[in-house]
Amino acid sequence: MPLPEGLYGLMAEFDSPSELVRAAKAARTAGYRRLDCYTPYPVEEAAEAIGFHRDEVSLVTLVGGLLGLAAMFGLETWIAVWAFPLNIAGRPYFSWPAFVVPAYEWTILWAGLSACFGMLALNGLPKPYHPVFNAPNFRDGATTNKFFLCLESTDPKFDAAETRGFLEAQSPVSVVEVEY
């Protein structure tokens, strides 16, 4: 795939989360749909403002946990009943109460790994390169104390001059172009 060139979007910088949320709401109301906010800590209101309500991490975790449970309980049963049956104090081969503990641990293990790696995968990480890092002021503040709203050029409503005008009306600290 050829690397895309040109303008990725326009990035407005804000000093406070409240200003960011107000601008994001305004952008959404104005009809922008391909947009994202970048914040140094989780700002739930900003996610709401850009229309991002639900995520699939819980589902991934549930599936992972159930798989872990089935994997360990199945393995224990197979070993104890078929592969290596041992008579332990006359207990039945399928002595399932004793199998609960490792199965429980693996439920948690697989669910936990699914939660973490599922979250990363859904986020498209690891992704060392991303156009937003090209914005000159981004790395200075995005992970410290600044709040960014980026309207992306793939949005049908995006127009370099008009969008810039819209962002400047939201009283940001600055508006910069983000190149690919």
According to CB under 8 A, which residues from 134 to 163 bind another protein?
A: 139-140, 142-147
Structure tokens at 29: 């109301």
Q: Is 169 in the site for another protein (CB under 8 A)?
A: no
Distance CA 7, CA 148 (A): 17
What is the CA angle 18-154-50, rounded to 5? Answer: 25
Of 87 and 161, the one with the shorter C-beta distance to another protein is 87
Lay out the site mask for another protein across 89-128 (x = CB under 8 A, - = otherwise). Answer: --x---x--xx-xx-xxx-xx-xxx-xx-xxx-xx-xxxx
DSSP state letter for 2: P
According to CB under 8 A, which residues from 32 to 71 bind another protein?
A: 36-47, 50, 52, 55, 57-58, 61, 65
Query: What is the three-class DSSP state of 175?
Result: strand
Lay out the site mask for another protein across 77-96 (x = CB under 8 A, - = otherwise). Answer: --xx--xx-x-x--x---x-
* CA-to-CA separations, 138 to 76, 86, 93, 134, in angstroms, rounded: 52, 63, 62, 7
Q: Is 12 in the site for another protein (CB under 8 A)?
A: no
